[in-house]
Amino acid sequence: MGTPRDPREPPSWPFERVPPPHVSGDDDARAEIESHIELLVQELVAGGMSDTEARLEARARFGDPAAWRKKTHRTDPRRQGTMTTMMTRILQDLRFALRGFRRNPGFAAMAVLTLAVALAGNTAIFSVLDAAVLRALPFPDADRLVFINGVHRTNGEEAFRGASPLEFRDWQARATQVDPVVTAMGSTFTLTGVDQAQRVQGELVSEGYFGVLGGEAALGRTFTDEEMTVLDGSFVTVLSYGLWQNVFGGDPDVVGRTVRLNDLSVQVVGVMDQDFVGANLGSQLWTPFAQFGLVGNPETLQSRTSRWLPVLGRLVPGATLEEAQAEFESIALGLQEEHPRAHEDRFARLVPFKESYLGTTGNLLWILFGAGLLLLVIAGANVANLLLVRAHARTREITVRRAIGADSGRITGQLLTESVTLATAGGVLGLLGAGWALRAALPLIPQGVLPSYAQPAVSLRAFGFTLGVLVLVGVASGLVPALTSARRDLATTLRSGRGALTGRGNRAQKAFVITQVGLALMLLVGAGLLTRSLRAQLAIDPGLEFEGVHAFRVQPASERYPDPEAVRIYTEELSRRVAEVPGVSQVTLASDFPLRGGSSGAYAYRPDAPDERIRVHWHLIAPDFFDLLQVQVLAGRSFTTADDEESAGVVMVTEAFAERVFPEDPSPGAVVGRQVHFGDPSNPESLAEIVGVVENVRYRNLTQSMMDGPNSPDLFIPMAQFRPRTHEVAFRVAGDTAAVLGAVRRAVNEVDSSTPPFGLASLEGLYRSQTAMPRLAAVLMGAFSIVALSLAAVGIYGVLTFTVGQRGPEIALRRALGAEASDVARSVVWDAVKLAGVGVGVGGLAAFFAGDLLEALLFEVQAGDMTTLAFTGVALLAVAAVAAAVPAVRAARKAPADALSAE
Amino acid sequence: MSGSDLFTGTLDLLILRTLRAEPLHGYGIGKALREQSGGVLAIEEGALYPALHRLERKGLLEAAWGKTDTGRRAKFYRPTDNGVAHLETESDRWAEFSGAVSLVLGR
């Protein structure tokens, strides 16, 4: 220590002494700030800035003088952080963050990529969900629109049937909670008198239809009340905008023109607005329901038991769906009393429009959306983990920064800026990725899964959604590391010694890993359930040979082919011509075709129990039908050309039919030769002999049981004894399918160009479209859970690598004290498995309870399926152990000598 | 040594160390620390000036208004003898302490 110096004469004090500058308030500290800023300005000007710029920049860089002046002098409290200083700080933080990322690009890339993938997936799914579920339907006030489905209710199970014309009129007259009640019967029309005959999709609609759906005519008008109710044999139609443009070339004089529909003259009275799609979402023309003669026998309108009409309506203001449903229950009970036989078990089920259009697609989309969010949380936890590890690596820097005066708020802000910057980068990439993913994925979504009004695109809404999510993820994933680091200080670090760093930060990391494992388990369980359900569906033997089998429909117009004989001649000529096409090997006819979805139901009776109605589905088939589909005849014989209108009534039945109708001895051999009434049991003419029993054929929905509930056993009648109007023409194709099908189409046109073929499909394609939904669900969930699993594995790996590094001295010490390398490795793996075990437990519990959400999509698998749960749990633990392998080996390689040099 | 003593102590040491080389004004101290630490120690004015004023009150620093090379008016600081002595004892303790910290951090 030197001798005391005289402060007034310092040798190292070589400056000219001056009095303090005079400033207002005579405040020394304020004078010091002014001088500080002057010096800064001077340097900035020297660096090439203009004076004004330099002054602004200097003010900004200096930050908020009030903040520190307050600490020493408690000056003016109003001068807290201003907008400018806040912006400055954010910019500073941002620069700092970017500099950090440049220094450590691997970390930044990993974090950004993880977020981008998760965000892209989420945004894509949100876009689809938004388009199909969240957006309003293309009708005004569509939330109030309901379909009123006529149902058959037995044992609490409801089978959809539609309404009969008289039933519909009764509903219309009696309902007060739904008004108006209208029908929109979809029908395919043959449009001729234009360039090329074609089938168009139309609707027969009743009074109030256009009003309830908000349809306006762009040209001409919609139907008058008179046209809607009076049957005078004249026909009118309104065209869709699309049909008008495509077929009529947008002819402005189309109103008033006469076209031919189903070979009848129909006057065009209007063209609908471009955006009007009709209740069937995509109808091309409309005709009044009262003009039923266009499509069939007008007497049908007087039927009480012929049920096929779709009915819809609007809930009156103030009415709820429940109230309306309750009203329809009482209407149904009233009708059952008035018409006991015709209305037995008849009820109505009100279904909101959106639910009706979406079906299980809505469930699927919500589940995928939820799965996407889980994935995002897993990804976010990984990013948080990365930040935490990084923040920890920077403990020294942060502690020093704190020591030199940065307050904890400032450090938190700094770290948050980093995570939000990462999230933003991930978000931008994710958004681009979402657009790409959507474009790539949409064509893969099978037809019929999404309603036709849904046109998913990465919209402004999707953008907003992504933005919201990424800010949340950015803040959430940054907050934990930020708080952890900001609170950690050098003093406690020192005081608590080695343990300090394994405190809060590590707990947070463990929580992240547990969360990740838990969520990944939920996704895996979901994927597992859907996959098992898919496998169960694919395992169903539809009882058919797909190879090359195709079918199309024709509907000979009743004007041109008035009687069954004319229809017979036409269809026989048709099948002869189709059979002549090279490449076609077999042709057969039927009233309907397997896996198309619908077939007609009726009642059969045993002669010895005429009071017991047995609901069956019936099909009219030509003799070689089973031969083409290679359905095996188990006993008896197939139909022959000898089974015609002259011969006695014969039927063939399925095994399921035999079991249902003859439970006492359903063996095929015993059933052949027995008799059933098909139709009125009191009419001896309805009695038919069972001549053959075939194996079960999945005619309708693949997943419906053969006999229970809405499905019922099948019965076959020779087409010669009962001729349908709409025919399925089925044939087998060999060779170049496209060329053969083109030739078939030409052949059909040559027979009668006014009867175009429609609904051409391959049996394989029908089967695929039936399994499309479960396939899609299983594939998407599977993809999600694989990504989730990898992310969780990365998370476990990261945390273990970190803790192993941290425990370095301890591990070395243990090794020095005699622990084997394998002991050390085992303890690291065991740590991972324990952690994952907690995650599996928590996730398993959550999965068990969340499983109900999947119920609607599952087939023959229970949501709480223990096998799936156990299997995925074990799989996750195994993945955790594998993820732990590398850190474990690293730990085991630590030489005991390290301990000595480190300590 | 309590936690808060440690923080302020660290900054105090950095300031005293800088001023031992040459007397400087607040702006110059900040700049010098930044340059010497390779840009890591960007000390906030909100911490620097309160520290200078505190050290001055404690008699470890003395201050006087003077002119800079470029003729600007600024408040200069230099350590007193007490300040120099403080720097020496505390530097030793810091070395000991930072060694301990490094050990804890496993470097």
In the predicted structure, residue A313 carries a pLDDT above the cut 70: yes
Which band of pLDDT confidence, cut at 50, 70 and 90, is reported for residue A600? confident
Mean pLDDT to the nearest integer, A547-557: 87
And the tokens for A380?
A: 């976010």
pLDDT at A31: 78
Contacts of B45 (CB under 8 A, 6+ apart): A36, A62, A63, A65, A68, B26, B30
Which band of pLDDT confidence, cut at 50, 70 and 90, is reported for residue A708? very low
In the predicted structure, residue A499 carries a pLDDT above the cut 80: no
In sign, the C-alpha dihedral spanning B10, B12, B15, B18 is negative
pLDDT at A551: 92
What is the spatial distance between Cα A754 and Cα A745, in angstroms, rounded to a whole number? 13
Cα(first)–Cα(last) distance of chain B, in Å? Answer: 24
Identify whether the C-beta of residue B74 lies closer than 8 Å to the C-beta of residue B27.
yes
What is the spatial distance between Cα B82 and Cα B59, in angstroms, rounded to a whole number? 7
pLDDT at A259: 92
Question: Hey, is A218 helix, strand or coil?
Answer: strand
Which band of pLDDT confidence, cut at 50, 70 and 90, is reported for residue A63? low
In the predicted structure, residue A218 carries a pLDDT above the cut 50: yes
- Does B90 contact A at CB distance below 8 Å? no
Which band of pLDDT confidence, cut at 50, 70 and 90, is reported for residue B93? confident
In the predicted structure, residue A72 carries a pLDDT above the cut 60: no
Chain B: closest CA distance from residue A465 (Å): 38
Mean pLDDT of chain A: 81
Length of chain A: 903
pLDDT at A322: 94
Mean pLDDT to the nearest integer, A756-769: 84
pLDDT at A582: 92
Which band of pLDDT confidence, cut at 50, 70 and 90, is reported for residue A243? very high
A98-147 pLDDT per residue, tens = 777 777 777 778 788 888 888 888 888 888 888 888 887 889 898 999 99
- Does B66 contact A at CB distance below 8 Å? yes
Contacts of A287 (CB under 8 A, 6+ apart): A202, A203, A204, A205, A235, A236, A237, A238, A261, A266, A294
Nearest CA in chain A to B26: A36
A465-489 pLDDT per residue, tens = 878 877 777 777 777 666 666 555 4
User: What residues of chain A lie within 8 A of the CB of B59, using their CB?
Assistant: none
What are the phi and psi torsion angles at A263 (to 5°)?
Answer: 65, 20
In the predicted structure, residue A64 carries a pLDDT above the cut 70: no
In the predicted structure, residue A615 carries a pLDDT above the cut 90: no
pLDDT at A686: 83
A558-584 pLDDT per residue, tens = 778 888 888 889 999 999 999 999 999
Contacts of A711 (CB under 8 A, 6+ apart): A617, A700, A701, A704, A705
Decide if A12 and B23 are in contact by the 8 Å CB cutoff: yes
Return the percentage of chain A with pLDDT > 90, whole number.
Answer: 21
A453-462 pLDDT per residue, tens = 777 888 788 8
pLDDT at A265: 92
Q: Which of B14, B73, B81 faces A2 most closely, judged by CB atoms?
A: B81
Global pTM value:
0.66
Mutate to test the interface with B, among A18, A36, A75 (most CBs of B within 10 A): A36
Which band of pLDDT confidence, cut at 50, 70 and 90, is reported for residue A2? very low
- Does B67 contact A at CB distance below 8 Å? yes
Mean pLDDT to the nearest integer, A751-756: 83
Decide if B46 and A40 are in contact by the 8 Å CB cutoff: no
pLDDT at A481: 66
Give the CA distances from residue B35 to residues A59, A358, A706, in Å, rounded to whole numbers and listed in that order. Answer: 21, 66, 84
In sign, the C-alpha dihedral spanning B15, B17, B23, B29 is negative
Residues linked to residue A265 through DSSP beta bridges, in sequence order: A260
Cα(first)–Cα(last) distance of chain A, in Å? Answer: 36
Nearest CA in chain A to B75: A32
pLDDT at B64: 85
CA atoms within 13 A on the CB side of A823: 9
What is the spatial distance between Cα A362 and Cα A356, in angstroms, rounded to a whole number? 10
Lowest mean pLDDT among A743-747, A866-870, A889-893, B23-27: A889-893
Return the percentage of chain A with pLDDT > 70, whole number.
Answer: 85
Q: Are strands B61-67 and A601-606 parallel, antiparallel or unpaired?
A: unpaired
Highest mean pLDDT among A11-25, A63-77, A359-373: A359-373
Which band of pLDDT confidence, cut at 50, 70 and 90, is reported for residue A698? confident
User: What residues of chain B lie within 8 A of the CB of A40, using their CB?
Assistant: 27
Mean pLDDT to the nearest integer, A723-732: 87
Higher pLDDT, residue A112 or A288: A288
Higher pLDDT, residue A447 or A176: A176
Q: How many CB atoms lie within 10 A of CB A900?
A: 11
**H or E element, residue A714:** strand A714-718
What are the phi and psi torsion angles at A208 (to 5°)?
Answer: 95, -5
Which band of pLDDT confidence, cut at 50, 70 and 90, is reported for residue A373? confident
Decide if B78 and A12 are in contact by the 8 Å CB cutoff: yes
Which band of pLDDT confidence, cut at 50, 70 and 90, is reported for residue B8? low
In the predicted structure, residue A761 carries a pLDDT above the cut 60: yes
What are the phi and psi torsion angles at A283 (to 5°)?
Answer: -75, 150
pLDDT at A501: 39
pLDDT at B2: 36
Q: Which of B1, B43, B100 faces A404 most closely, judged by CB atoms?
A: B43
Q: Which of B27, B53, B105 faces A36 most closely, judged by CB atoms?
A: B27
Lowest mean pLDDT among A99-103, A836-840, A848-852: A99-103
User: What residues of chain B lie within 8 A of the CB of A400, using their CB?
Assistant: 10, 40-41
DSSP string, A599-635: --EEEEEETTEEEEEEEEEEEEE-TTHHHHHT--EEE
A796-824 pLDDT per residue, tens = 887 787 777 777 777 777 777 777 888 88
Q: How many CB atoms lie within 10 A of CB B84?
A: 16
In the predicted structure, residue A496 carries a pLDDT above the cut 80: no
Decide if A68 and B45 are in contact by the 8 Å CB cutoff: yes
Decide if B51 and A405 are in contact by the 8 Å CB cutoff: yes
pLDDT at A220: 93
pLDDT at A3: 44
pLDDT at A10: 44
pLDDT at B54: 85
pLDDT at A406: 63
Q: Would you say the ipTM is above 0.90?
A: no
Domain covering B3-105, topology: Arc Repressor Mutant, subunit A (1.10.10)
Amino acid identity, position A682? S
Helices A28-46 & A51-62 angle (0-180, nearest 10): 130
Length of chain B: 107
A637-695 pLDDT per residue, tens = 999 888 888 888 899 999 888 988 898 888 888 999 999 988 777 887 888 999 999 98
Mutate to test the interface with A, among B45, B69, B98 (most CBs of A within 10 A): B45
pLDDT at B68: 80
Return the percentage of chain B with pLDDT > 90, whole number.
Answer: 0
Lowest mean pLDDT among A196-205, A252-261, A541-550: A541-550
In the predicted structure, residue A394 carries a pLDDT above the cut 80: no
And the tokens for A77?
A: 């409290």
Mean pLDDT to the nearest integer, A383-404: 69
pLDDT at A858: 79
Lowest mean pLDDT among A310-324, A326-340, A621-635: A621-635
Q: Can you give the residue ranges of every domain in chain B?
A: 3-105
pLDDT at B104: 74
In the predicted structure, residue A408 carries a pLDDT above the cut 70: no
